[in-house]
Amino acid sequence: MKTTGFYLELFENALRGESFISDPLKLYEPIQYTLSLGGKRLRPVLCLLGCDLYGGSCEKAMPAAIAVEIFHNFTLVHDDIMDNSPIRRGQPTVFKKWNTNIAILSGDVMFAKAYEYVARLDTPDLKPILNVFTDTAIKVCEGQQYDMDYEVFSNVGIDDYLNMIILKTAVLTGASLKIGALMAGASTEQSDLLYTFGLNLGIVFQLQDDLLDVFSDETKFGKKTGSDILAGKKTYLFLKSIELMPPGEREEFYVYYTSSENNADEKIAYVKSVYEQLNIRHHVIQLMHIYHNESLKILEKCTGTPEVIIQLKELAETMLVREI
């Protein structure tokens, strides 16, 4: 039986066969660099799984898998500028290794390259795929803007936060699966179902990401922990803490968390101690299980190949426990 490792290897082989080096080098080297840093390749694997699920050819869906991975990496290159993040996957980010202008422009051309791969798809009807892809790109930008807005807004609720991560993260995991399904000729109903499965999966993924940002082993995670705390990001961990703590303590913690005046190491240590006191990890895991169970329920309506459904279930399980 195939494992997700099978799809990953298929994708890595295909990606290795593509060259992104061309003139002018300063434009293209950052693309090759970014794509060669690896990463989990979650989105292209989902795309290939979505295609295989409905009996499609992974080879035919490969340009779509490459497109979603390039698009995802484009968003990382631009997000790293906006978030001033120096390290990604254990290596300097593009704007740090080169400069901001190069990161802006390389990102732009990556976005265009992603469309180049979408346009290469051998399918009788490209429009639905093009629409999902573009709609997703727009939503991801909206999510990133909300993410930045919420750093300074004072009245962010848990619903706002969840809506933000749906836009910023989950629509792309949903779209990757859906595009794969469409490449296999799946029905609108089935491909929409898979999209919703992917949304729930993406939410679990992001909640785990937020947990890892606070509690992970830095050497495994590939970036410094505590970056959300330092940036005062209003994650579920923070918002739930506010909800759980006695009303009299909320304002002081809120002001402390959102202030940039504190010593970095002290701030991280203090906020972590608050999270631990409130057993916030337990609450995040509880919410992850709600979305996880929802994703499994959706999968029950899926008419695809049973072996691939098992793969999707296993992948959904790993979202709950991944360490990187």
Which residues touch 33 (CB under 8 Å, ≥6 apart)? 94, 97
- What are the two backbone dihedrals, phi and then psi, of residue 99, each rounded to the nearest 5 degrees? -155, 175
Residue with tokens 């005062």: 232
Among 14, 37, 104, 287, binds its own copies (CB under 8 A): 104
Q: Estimate to the nearest angstrom the gap between the alpha carbon of 219 and the chain centroid.
A: 20
Query: Comparing C-alpha atoms, which of 233, 212, 208, 229 is closest to residue 221?
Result: 212
3-state secondary structure of 92: strand
For the chain, what is the radius of gyration of the CA atoms? 20
Q: Report the distance separating Cα 155 and Cα 231, nearest Å.
A: 17
Contact between 188 and its own copies per CB under 8 A: no
Considering the complex, what minimum distance in angstroms separates the CB of residue 199 from its own copies?
19
Per residue in 100-119, is it b (16+ CB within 10 Å) or e — as a string? eebbebbbebbbebbbebbe
Q: Is 32 in the site for its own copies (CB under 8 A)?
A: no
Residue closer to its own copies, measured from CB, 120 or 289: 120
Binding piece for its own copies, criterion CB under 8 A, among 103-111, 177-185, 216-224, 281-289 = 103-111
Q: Helix, strand, or coil here: 87?
A: strand
The residue among 25 and 324 lying less far from its own copies, judged by its C-beta, is: 25
CA distance 25 to 241: 47
Smallest gap from Cβ 22 to its own copies, in A, equals 8
Cβ atoms within 10 Å, residue 28: 18
43 binds its own copies (CB under 8 A): no
Residue 58 or 121: which CB sits closer to its own copies? 121
Q: Is 131 a binder of its own copies (CB under 8 A)?
A: yes
115 contacts its own copies (rule: CB under 8 A): yes
By CB under 8 A, tell whether 157 contacts its own copies: no
Q: Which residues contact 307 (CB under 8 A, 6 or more apart)?
A: 1, 2
Residue placing its CB nearer to its own copies in the complex, 52 or 83: 83
Q: Binding of its own copies at residue 260 (CB under 8 A)?
A: no
User: Which of these segments, 112-120, 206-214, 232-240, 305-313, binds its own copies (CB under 8 A)?
Assistant: 112-120
Among 1, 19, 23, 263, binds its own copies (CB under 8 A): 23
Choosing from 144, 208, 235, 311, the residue that interacts with its own copies (CB under 8 A) is 144
Using CB under 8 A as the binding rule, whether residue 112 contacts its own copies is answered as yes
Question: Contact, 274 vs 249, CB < 8 A?
Answer: no
| Residues 57-96 interacting with its own copies (rule: CB under 8 A) | 78, 81-82
Write down how long the chain is: 324
Residue 134 in contact with its own copies, rule: CB under 8 A: yes
DSSP code at position 155: -
Is the separation of the CB atoms in 176 and 44 below 8 Å? yes
Least distance in Å: CB of 51 to its own copies? Answer: 20
User: Looking at beta carbons only, is 20 or 197 nearer to its own copies?
Assistant: 20
Q: Which residues bind to its own copies, rule: CB under 8 A?
A: 23-24, 26-27, 78, 81-82, 100-102, 104-105, 107-109, 111-113, 115-116, 119, 126-127, 130-131, 134-135, 137-138, 141-142, 144-146, 148-149
